Structure 1
């Protein structure tokens, strides 16, 4: 392995004390609820300093588990490997975490940043079980490139600065999806209130005012879906389920076919432009959702849906979804749900009674056109954000890789040769660490010889 000048290769177990966490007895309630952080893998999701944790220990609870001093580095070693953090106060962890108490001769932030690169090694070395595990012995063998102490300070400072900038970019990117969600909601609110096409109506006053109507006045035919899950007479037909839709859009590749008779096919067949309403679901966010069927007229639907065929001379199916899936229309449908045994159900009577204002068919067409244009614009931004998030994610690892190849401090090394060689080099540093570890080891007690 090529190392920068003055660096040395070591193992994590040689650079500090390795401590595996433990959970205090849950049979003693007094162990929990104090002010001492009790770190679990979920507390390491965002890395960095650990100021607060979901669970805490009392002094009594801390007495029964290994203690961690401030600036210990915690690493998940069971399950989702390689999540890390730094303690800020006396703390403890559960058994899914191995921690390093770094030698006082090291810059702990240098070691923290290095451990952030270890996830691939941990995954490669994990025990071949259903749950990935790195035990204390294996973790102690993790390879570490050790820079001279003066260069460790330089690297830690540079990484703190660069990664803070990356985190700032990531935070701004992560905020955009919620902004786009609010944008889409505001577009739909403007669409169903008439504000989106206010300018259009000024030029088309002959198409009249929006008229109050019940959804039931638009229905030509409706019915619940087929309940049977198999058949032995007729021919195979695709019967759509909720699994065939994602975010109210059709997804292909996992369809279920059922043998249906011609009578059943005619009763449950779907036509292009039909509206499918989720009749029953465990989530109040999904029950009552409207979906426009855009298919080939040869498919049927299961009893988790209600089908509505509407008069397309009066209303566009897409426009109806703007009313029913957001705003006041969605609020009405949610309030119409009945709940039993964890399932939320809506019936045709409640749906038929939904009231709203309906513009002319020509204005509906203009509204749908404008909404789709704006949504396409939002979708384009969202995709660019996802691409940027992926690049930022890789950027963090790229910066860390450069740091531990010595590239971030190459100029500094060339300007400070006296700080990376001889007594200031990493080999000498490792020797001091080892000498300190030997000195700190308690001497074994000598057994007294019994007098004859």
Structure 2
């Protein structure tokens, strides 16, 4: 059954019957393999698919395969590589890429696909771009999920069933028009998407510049002039001067009495990824709090990650619940007589990169409580602190609105690709073209005649293959 309703002059055919060559890939041997009948190749993997529109597979790895294997698997312009193994819960298997001459010209060796891919060689009578775009639509529509097997972490495409999907077949001239239109329209979509995807990074730099202006006094320079306040009134202190800094610990996992049916939130450095924390994934018992001398920190405490993988170290969150924590976190409690908690939080957020640099250690550098206490902070009077926090909140709210609008626009752009592909394969992009060019979609130019030519080509290829096997 066809995925879409198509025009009357179109036909449909099983995918398998539109291909003249189908074969699995080959991972071969390491590039330093020395056997005589092995040849160097560039091997395209599923990982190359992720950024194909920008890189065209240029990160393919060097391997060696047998000459007899290469003879059957060397890629040609117009070939389609189909992912048959990989994927996962959020990414079904079944992505495709189209090989063109530009892809092959990047390498000084023949190019093949790995054993997690399958080579599909469409009939020369088809526009290969058209077929690949249809397979992209089939994938993005979610239909491909029906042809999957395997576990959540590694999915396999049931290729025998997949090869029986119905593919719309317009006349060749119309295929070319559709492919050209899609090349143009989807390139415009990708350009728009790329521009939108740059905005969050711009907003990240904007927020960081706002924080820097806030804690240096630049953000309230005019306010001080209006209120006869001098920047020299700011006092140079450290976090340890204006807050208490403590940490937590991890009760023994071997003691069920510390963990089973616990109801005291216990946080790790993973919780510092959000500006506020109002829930916990792990809990300890009141007995653990008492026997392990755990400190329960009140709402308003600032948690700073002293160590953790990736970008975690240096992150800051504000508690909106009472909780204890492990030894990877510094719990910073502001002395409200000396400093506003919200102003202290701005300084810790602004100091993220410097905090990370202050860490010492080997493969996973760590901070310690003394280094957190030593973080410098310039403190204005409470009235200016309040004004600084108000202005930062206002500017951040504006940035948040922009980011939400960008995310909404990105969602629409992502849906636009699917919409354009669906219109193309319903024949809507070429409706007027068909009216203007009846001679290009009838008689010898019809879809029916095209399928007969494909059938003849497949028969010729099959005959040659049988003769080669007989000689062998």
TM-score when scaled to structure 1?
Answer: 0.87
Task: Give the RMSD, CA atoms, in angstroms.
Answer: 3.0
Shift of 1:217: 1.4
Q: Distance in 1 between matches of 2:190 and 2:289?
A: 60
Q: Select between 21-30 and 88-97 the one with higher mean Cα deviation.
A: 21-30
- Residue 145 (1) aligns with residue 168 (2): yes
Alignment equivalent of 1:19, drawn from 23, 28, 34: 23
Q: Residue 174 of structure 1 aligns with which residue?
A: 197
Aligned to 2:157, the other structure's residue is in SS state coil
Alignment counterpart, residue 295 of structure 2, candidates 250, 259, 268: 268
- In structure 2, the residue matched to 1:70 is 77
User: Which runs of 5 or more residues in structure 2 are unaligned?
Assistant: 88-92, 105-109
Tell me the residue number matched to 2:97.
Answer: 85
Measure how far apart 1:420 and its partner are.
Answer: 1.5
Gaps of 5+ in 1: none
Are 2:277 and 1:250 aligned? yes
Partner residue of 2:149 out of 115, 119, 127: 127
Matches within 5 A, 1:155-304: 155-206=178-229, 209-219=233-243, 221-229=244-252, 232=257, 236-252=263-279, 254-260=281-287, 268-283=295-310, 285-295=311-321, 298-304=322-328
Deviations 1:362-393 (A, max 9, x none): 11111111111111111111111111111111
Where does residue 355 of structure 1 map in the other structure? 376
- The separation in 2 between residues aligned to 1:293 and 1:104, in whole angstroms, is 64
Contact 1:38 1:53 in 2 (8 A): no
Structure 1 residues 165 and 62: CA distance shift in structure 2, 3 A:
farther
Shifted more, 331-340 versus 425-434: the winner is 331-340
Distance 1:63 1:386, change over 3 A: farther
Aligned length: 439
Greater CA drift, 439-448 or 147-156: 439-448
Identify the structure with the greater helix proportion: 2
Q: Secondary structure at the match of 1:346?
A: coil
For the 8 Å contact 1:279–1:304, the answer to whether it is kept is: yes
Whether the 8 Å contact between 1:77 and 1:134 is mirrored in structure 2 is: yes
Q: How does 1:355-374 map to 2 (within 5 A)?
A: 355-374=376-395
Residue 103 of structure 1 corresponds to which residue in structure 2? 123
Cross-structure match for 1:43 = 48
Contact 1:292 1:317 in 2 (8 A): no
Say if 1:42 and 1:447 are closer, same or farther in 2 by CA, change over 3 A.
closer
1:135 is displaced (CA, Å) by 4.7
